[in-house]
Amino acid sequence: MGSAVSTWGATYSVVKRGQLRSVLIAVSVVLCFTGTPMAVGSADPLPTPQNDPFYTPPSGWSSEAPGTILNSRPVKVASLGPQAQDADAWQLLYRTTDTAGQPMATVTTVLRPRTGHVKGLISYQVAEDASAPQCAPSFVLRQGAPDKYDSSLDLVQIDQMLSSGHVISVPDWEGPLGAVFSPKQPGYAVLDGVRAAEGFTPLGLSGIDTPVAVTGYSGGAIGTGWVAQVQPAYAPEIRLVGVAMGGWTVPVGPYLESLDSGPFSGFLPSLLPGMMRADPRLAAVFNKYLTPAGQALMAAGDSKCVAPNVAQHAFLRMDDYLTIPFSQLFEQVQASFADVDFGNVVPTAPLFLYNAVHDEILDIAPADQAVAQWCAAGAQITYTRDQLSEHVSLAITATPAVLRWIDDRLAGQAAPTGCSTRTVPSMSLGGA
């Protein structure tokens, strides 16, 4: 694993020359990772979630309490090498709650180191960034599943967390609708995955006394950020000791609109179908103005994971698929996009936030502003701005600093009080 990470870092630093080349390498890295067989194929192909009975909850499930385990099974999780991850792993189907407050069922993949005493629980939210059910981490991370998205980055994180002696929960936090941007539901799904893990005896956790940290990068920061927002009211019994997230931005609407016609415009057909399923208001507006070609674009995007969508649809112009300008359509869905932004609730758990100053996908200015607002309202934040990394590289270079911070919180060390913001050359050099 170490050599793979070193090779990736060296390659990225060599080719990072100018905006266009950084865009090309970011796309190339995604394609490289997804095109490389990181998992060994099984004799029989794994059924996708839409064809796997495990994902169907049993009769009467909706009356169960949030976090109740509805089904479980042992699984093998892939690693960066040809062998499965050196950990005991299971999948838990559990009851959670959707945006409207109605019962919902989703799955988390839980892993426990095979040796040693477990120190705590980390819920890791992957950057799925897709609407298709076969892109969910519970499917993609299994040994023998086709590598449909940039799972190698996730395998690096999971391996490092396991080596630190923690139990890991990797929830399908987008839920069965595949909605990346949905109000509150991502946080509910993560927290109920934690509840399920705490109640699953083979993991050896201490129930509600278990110290819990949550973390996610890029798209995974969406689910992680919602945890910080909803945990005090939704799951106050969970002992949430830290929230770490990077590569994030708010508000969502302007960010999505900024993707149009750019090198990362392929995120739009990857993300919008799930959002439309989760929000009838959004679906009504898009369906009113999408041309037949636009409908076909959304259907095709809904069948693929993020890497092929981004590779196929670079510099896509949504105006070519709508009967009105994309900017005018966005004016009609402002309420939907306002709902998916993190709310006004000030997080009570300590936060570790980090972004790349020269991120080629996200503008750091809105994140800077959000940090300032949360700090003014009394949040406890350690914020690091990385000057040398870009969006993809920061996911790797920040890992040691992020996990050190998480390890300290799970070990019972108090987070720094108040707020601090630092700009460092690189988090890989020890800057946190």
The count of residues in the chain is 432
Residue 88 DSSP SS3: strand
DSSP state of 57: P
Q: Say if residue 103 is preceded by a cis peptide, omega within 30 of 0.
A: no
| Alpha-helical regions (H) of 129-219 | 137-140, 151-163, 185-198
Which residues make beta-bridge pairs with 381?
A: 351, 419
Q: Is 391 a catalytic residue?
A: yes
Could you count the other beta carbons within 10 Å of the beta carbon of residue 327?
A: 11
Which of 391, 393, 407, 428 is catalytic? The answer is 391
Q: CA-CA distances (angstroms) from residue 406 to 104, 122, 169, 232, 338?
A: 29, 8, 15, 19, 31
3 state SS of 245 = strand
Task: Answer yes or no: 359 catalytic.
Answer: yes
Could you tell me which residues come within 8 angstroms of residue 198 by beta carbon, excluding any fewer than 6 positions away?
67, 121, 205, 206, 207, 208, 210, 238
Q: Which of 173, 128, 134, 153 is nearest to 38 (CA)?
A: 153
Q: Which residue is catalytic, options 359, 386, 393, 428? A: 359
| Rounded distance between C-alpha atoms, residue 386 and residue 397, angstroms | 10
Identified catalytic residue from 123, 152, 182, 218: 218
C-alpha–C-alpha distance, residues 216 and 222, integer Å? 8
- If you ran DSSP here, which 8-state letter would residue 236 be given? T
What 8-state DSSP symbol labels residue 416?
P
Q: Which parts of 114-171 are beta strand (E)?
A: 121-125, 167-171
- Paired with 87 in beta bridges are 113
Q: Are 95 and 105 in contact, with CB atoms under 8 Å apart?
A: yes
77 contact partners, CB below 8 Å, separation of at least 6: 84, 85, 87, 89, 109, 111, 141, 142, 143, 158
The residues with which 74 forms a beta bridge, in sequence order, are 90
Q: How far apart are CA 421 and CA 315, in angstroms?
A: 35
H helical segments located in 36-150: 137-140
Task: Give yes or no for a contact between 74 and 89, defined as CB atoms under 8 angstroms apart.
Answer: yes
List, by residue number, the catalytic residues: 218, 359, 391
